[in-house]
Structure 1
């Protein structure tokens, strides 16, 4: 989408996406998020312990 002023200069506008409300995650998605969070915490803990062990 664009407009042109009286001097012939173009002004471009981005197209706006449609707005929608987010849906609450299902029970399966919630469990997957919990598992991913637990794996991430274990990974970061392992990294920190390794850093302390090496230093």
Structure 2
């Protein structure tokens, strides 16, 4: 663990910093996967809303 000494002889313990890297934009295959997952999520939410309204209107 990295320790530093401050004024008056106090020790400070700092967390180890993670390695920094630059994010890369998604390639064409990843963009296609994100699009398909987005459509699937919208369909799932739409189906859940439809089921909720169907069940709530049953008398």
The size of the alignment, in residue pairs, is 53
- Deviations along 1:3-50, whole A, 9 cap, x unmatched? 4663xx653211001211100100000000000000000000000000
Instruction: State the match for 1:44 in structure 2.
Output: 45
Q: Secondary structure at the match of 1:11?
A: strand
Q: Which runs of 5+ in 2 are unaligned?
A: none
Q: Secondary structure at the match of 1:29?
A: helix
**In 2, distance between residues paired with 1:10 and 1:44?**
53
Q: Which runs of 5+ in 1 are unaligned?
A: none
